[in-house]
Amino acid sequence: MHQQQLRSRAEIRLWAVINEAALLCPVGGRKTLDGQVRALLEVARLPNTTIQVLPIRQARVSPECPSFSYMLFSEPGIDPVVSVDLLRSGVLVEKRSEVETYLEALEVFSISAADPRRSEQILHDLL
C-alpha cells in the first residue's frame, strides 16, 4: 500500500504486526533497512495506521508461518480475504474457514506484540 493512499483516504486503515526478526535482516544493506524503518515510523504517525512490532522474545511464530495480509473490506457483501506471501509468488485465500485461521493467528500476534508506542521505540532503536 502506498503511503500517499494512507494519507489521502481516511477509509483505508492499516494495522501491521511485524516480526522483529524481519527488521533485523538488512536485505539490501544497512542504508535500505534504515530507509524502510524510517518509512514505518512515518506511517506509524498517521491517524489511520497501527504499527506493532512482535519482539523476538515474544514471537510464537512457527518458521512455517508465512507473511500474510488480512484484508477486511467496508463494502457490504465482500468477505475478508488473506494474501499469503510466498518466495516467488503469493496465494489469495478466500475460503471462510481458512481466512478465520489467519484471523486467529493475527489476533494472537497482535496481543503478543508490543503496543504501538513501544513499537515505535523499538523501530527508533533500530536506527
- Per-residue DSSP letter, 52: E
Three-state SS letters, 10-25 = CCCCEEEEEEHHHHCC
Give start and end residues of each alpha helix (H) in 11-95. 20-23, 30-44
What pLDDT sits at residue 63?
54
- Partners of residue 76 on adjacent β-strands: none
Interhelix angle 116-125/30-44, rounded to 10 degrees, is 160
Domain that holds residue 32: 3-125
65: CB partners within 8 A, 6+ apart? 105
Q: What percentage of the chain carries pLDDT values higher than 90?
A: 50
Global model pTM greater than 0.75: yes
Q: How many domains does the chain have?
A: 1
Which of 10-24, 54-68, 107-121 has the highest mean predicted lDDT (pLDDT)?
A: 107-121
